[in-house]
Amino acid sequence: MAFRILIDETRIRNRIRELAADLRDAYDDPLFVVVLDGARTFAQALLRALGTSGNAYEPVRVRSYEGTQSTGQHELVRDLKVDVHGRDIVLLEDIVDTGRTVRYLDDLLRERGARSVDVWTLLSKPSRRVVDVELRGVGFEIPDEFVIGYGLDFDGKYRELPHIAIWSADAEARRLQAGSTMHEGGATSG
Ligand code: IMP
């Protein structure tokens, strides 16, 4: 794999343990809202590290992002199935970039009567922020790079990488070229 690793598996695991300890101390009975697909990997590891079973875990899906550019448009394509009225919400995100997605969800949850909404995110790119959002928990602040792995994708790919890596067009081209060479080789020998 030609993509440069930014945060390896061990650092991610250790940081998630720390976040889980902070989270355990901070809430009584929170409702975890997980932004699919990207935050699923983070959310599952975090809930496992929390060590309590039976946490309600509500997935939502927001359409907002194409390629490497945030569009600023949001549409809720999978809604919550529970009433958030009076609940303390822990909103789990994979990455906060411009901040627009969490702002959209924060507004929505508060409009529906949530008592509180706190954002906990694995990654944050502060230099890219367009709207001001308060983050209660941040795994890692990262520079302005497009990253993949640990749930984060580039056009649907690389979510399964166990670490966070920096996506680059060069590395992608090299990878595709290596793939097609292997394929041609296979076809010739077959
Ligand atoms: P925001 O609304 O600009 O904060 O973007 C949030 C969403 O954009 C995240 O949930 C991701 O789906 C996506 N995103 C932003 N930066 C990256 C990145 O570096 N890699 C993969 N997805 C990203």
Its pTM stands at 0.90
Residue indicated by tokens 């795994």 = 139
Q: Which secondary-structure segment (H or E) carries 90?
A: strand 88-96
Question: How many angstroms separate the alpha carbon of residue 95 from the centre of ligand 1?
Answer: 5
* Closest ligand 1 atom number to CA of residue 39: 10
Residue nearest to atom 15 of ligand 1 (CA): 97
∠ Cα 134 137 143 (to 5°): 80
Residue nearest to atom 9 of ligand 1 (CA): 95
* Closest ligand 1 atom number to CA of residue 100: 2
* Closest ligand 1 atom number to CA of residue 128: 3
Burial class (CB in 10 A: 0-12, 13-18, 19+), 121: buried
Q: Which secondary-structure segment (H or E) carries 69?
A: strand 69-78
Reference 22, options 151, 139, 162, 140; nearest CA is 139
Residue nearest to atom 3 of ligand 1 (CA): 98
190 confidence band (pLDDT: 50, 70, 90): very low
Instruction: Give the C-alpha separation, 182 to 189, whole Å.
Output: 11
Select the more confidently predicted residue: 155 or 184.
Answer: 155
In the chain, domain spans: 4-143
What mean pLDDT comes out for the span 56-66? 82
Instruction: Give the C-alpha separation, 164 to 151, whole Å.
Output: 9
- Mind telling me the catalytic residues? 97
pLDDT score recorded for residue 65: 56
pLDDT score recorded for residue 61: 95
Lowest-pLDDT choice from 56-65, 77-86, 164-173: 56-65
Question: How many angstroms separate the alpha carbon of residue 190 from the centre of ligand 1?
Answer: 42
Instruction: Give the C-alpha separation, 30 to 88, whole Å.
Output: 5
- Ligand 1 pocket list (CB less than 6 A): 35, 38, 64-65, 70, 93-101, 146-147, 152
Task: Give yes or no for residue 137 having a pLDDT over 90.
Answer: yes
Mean pLDDT of the chain: 89
4-143: CATH topology: Rossmann fold (3.40.50)
Task: Give yes or no for residue 98 having a pLDDT over 70.
Answer: yes
Residue 81: helix, strand or coil by DSSP? coil
pLDDT score recorded for residue 183: 47
pLDDT score recorded for residue 185: 36
34 confidence band (pLDDT: 50, 70, 90): very high
